[in-house]
Amino acid sequence: MKYVKQCLIIFAITLIGEALHACIPLPIPTSLYGLFLLFICLQRKWILPEQVKTVGTFLIEILPVLFVPAAVGLVEAWGLLRDRLLVYLLVTVSTTILVMIMTGIVTQWVIRRGKEKSRDF
């Protein structure tokens, strides 16, 4: 029953994210609406981490399997991709490096901020 409840919480947040995407047509992927909602709910303690931890951990563990359909789609579209492969590789590598750099900067900022707050108490 615990797993069903956790799944329902995550699916409800996802459904609300889908509804928000329909109401607020920004060029943002629908899944980000749900992630942002879940983040707000966890920050405000409307949802406790224990209420979604088990299913969340499971979903993170099987995440690589969820990329299989996308990989199959790329293989099927090889004829279209082949002509522009160099451009796609350059964009993929450069954006990956940029994301890694920005993630490192934000992580360092969060760690430093946490240390400063712990010193204040």
Q: Amino acid letter at 99? A: V
User: Given a cut of 70, is residue 121 above it in pLDDT?
Assistant: no
pLDDT at 105 over 70: yes
Centre a 10 Å sphere on the Cβ of residue 34 and count the other Cβ atoms it contains: 21
pLDDT band at 58 (very low <50, low <70, confident <90, very high): very high
Rounded CA-CA distance 67/41 in Å is: 27
pLDDT digits (tens, 9 = 90+) for 3-56: 999 999 999 999 999 999 999 988 888 889 999 999 999 999 999 999 999 999
Of 64, 45, 55, 69, which is closest to residue 14 (Cα–Cα)?
A: 55
For residue 74, the model assigns a pLDDT of: 83
Give Cα 98 distance to the centre of its chain. Answer: 17
- What pLDDT does residue 78 have? 87
